[in-house]
Amino acid sequence: MKKNSSFKTLLNYAGGYKYFTVGSVVLAAASACLALVPFVYIWEIVNEVMTTAPDFSKAQNIEDYGFTAVKYAVNAMCVYFCALACSHLGAFRTVANVREQCVAKVLRMPLGYIENEGSGKIRKIIIDASGSLENFMAHILPDRTVAIVTPFAMIAFLLYFDWKIGLLCIANIVLAFLIMYMFMVGKNLKKDVEAYNAALENMTKEAVEYVRGIPVVKTFGQSVFSFKKLKAAIDNYEKFTVSYTRRFRIPMTAYTVVINAFFAILTAVALYHGNGSAQPELFSNLMFYIIFTPVIAVIFFKLMHSSEADMIVENALSRIDSIMSVDEIQETEHPKFPVDNSVEFQNVTFRYKDATQNAIDDISIKIPSGGHVAFVGPSGGGKTTSASLVSRFWDVTSGKILIGGVDVKDIPQAKLSEIVSFVFQDSKLLKTSIMDNIKIAKPSANDDEVYDVLKRAQCSDIIDRLPDGANSIIGSKGTYLSGGEQQRIAIARVMLRNTPILVLDEATAFADPENEEKVQEAFNEISKGKTVIKIAHRLSTVVDCDEIFVLKDGKIAEHGKHQDLVNQHGIYSKMWSEYQKSVEWTINN
């Protein structure tokens, strides 16, 4: 993304507040010009002192020049303050618009995308990327405007007083700029920055994995070197940063020397001219350049940092675009409503974006209203994907999914959420009270309804042991729940929602034996009279299902009742045999 397009994109996000951003640029440019005027009056003071020496009583205008210089300096600061006020107003509104549009986009995204990417990652993109935009628009943009405008104004000043000395100084500036361009705006810089960010991101990711694996390390007495990926990531980061820094030693040293070489040039000029009739005028001009030229180094350092800021903004806009470009779930213009709770897959095919093969490949399934079925099979077979298509976590690539004889695409999203509920293997609870966690499913529910579903979901023992019962805040003051306990709370939440179709995705995966029994009792309670789709690896939980579908490589390899599949001696039979062996497995003393 080019700089112009980046700025234009920011203005589009700013909406009506873009005039504040444009105004800040104009005011910053004006302040840059005003800030140079005091140097003229300083030169006038020096010139008057030099031309009236040794009779300084003839210097009548020094006071006026001094006050005028101060007046322009104060005006420059006031104008720049106004520029910052405008830039902040524009930045805050732009960031607010970006976040509002991103959140609105998230609400229209497929739930599957959010589940796969992770809500934490999406939140980080929205908050961090928009924060980078705020810093650029509020601070960097006015500073960069000053840094760009000032050199042009300075060139005029350098040539005005003594064009010969001015040309020498300009030549020095051009040389410094060329050196800066080679290592700050060169073609390889963007690749280097991307490589640096990739190395840093990889090291951070591996560090997180290492922290998560500390219990395993401590249990088995392993050292950090057992995590070869983390060590390799650290070594790679060190290797890149050291080589990157060494590569810039000579260019940076050359730039620093050249940009600060004005004094050497001015000293050479003074020595060359020596004594003569033009000495007072020459000396006053030299004094102006001695006072004026150090500003150039400061301006160029600001330009160097602004080029880095541009890349940060481009990266932030790119990350925001990664959210804004996600395909939305389209609402139907002609809503229809199911006549019952049956579910049917009609030649359904689904492929994830950028995938090379189908995740689901032409499957057809009929589940009668009130029927209980299970999806089992090897990992990656398409079990969870198939179930998620029922709730439109994704839309099918081809074929149809019908609920009560109606295509799910023709059912309004709000209505579909009242028909289908999910219980995931890793149920998520918010850091709030158990009561509030459950009421998320039905905000209008009263406390009696919540206590009723808690009891039916086998959560009474959880509530009894907590200091504040159902009003206990999860995750605070030592109030933590095990995986199985969290699952039961999640089941209570779904019970309160009371949808006619349930999808149970590996819902007992994190439950210990004691909790698993209670979770199963809760499932039996919640499943009464409902259409249920179970996804399970623990085959003992699906033996009573009306029909079991074995999915492999996105296709239905087998289907039938438990005993019929066992008797077929196929995939399911082998899975059941291996499951039985794992259950019977013990450690001999």
CB 501 within 8 A of CB 527: no
| Residue 179: its H or E element | helix 163-184
CATH number of the 343-584 domain? 3.40.50.300
In order of 344, 374, 399, 416, 505, the CA distances from 367 in angstroms are 6, 10, 16, 17, 17
Residues whose CB is less than 8 angstroms from the CB of residue 197 and which lie 6 or more positions away in sequence, other chains included: 315
Q: How many helices (H) and strands (E) would you count in the chain?
A: 23, 10
Q: What are phi and psi of 368, to 5 degrees?
A: -70, 160
CB 348 within 8 A of CB 336: no
pTM of the model: 0.64
Q: Where are the domains of the chain?
A: 1-161, 343-584
Contacts 24+ apart (CB under 8 A), 238-247: 240/195, 240/196, 240/199, 241/196, 241/199, 244/192, 244/196
For the chain (length 589 residues), average pLDDT per consecutive 10?
A: 64 86 92 86 78 73 88 94 93 90 85 73 81 85 83 76 73 74 62 71 70 60 62 81 79 77 70 57 68 69 67 81 82 85 92 85 92 88 87 88 91 87 76 87 88 87 85 74 80 87 72 65 80 85 89 90 90 87 58
What is the pLDDT at residue 373? 92
What is the pLDDT at residue 77? 94
Alpha helices in 401-482 (DSSP H): 413-419, 434-439, 447-456, 460-465
What is the pLDDT at residue 145? 86
What is the pLDDT at residue 402? 93
Angle ∠(206,208,209) on CA atoms, nearest 5: 65
The DSSP bridge pattern shows strands 406-407 and 398-403 to be: antiparallel
Q: Of 453, 140, 485, nearest to 314 (Cα)?
A: 140
Q: What does the alpha-carbon distance between residue 528 and residue 372 come to, in Å, rounded to a whole number?
A: 10
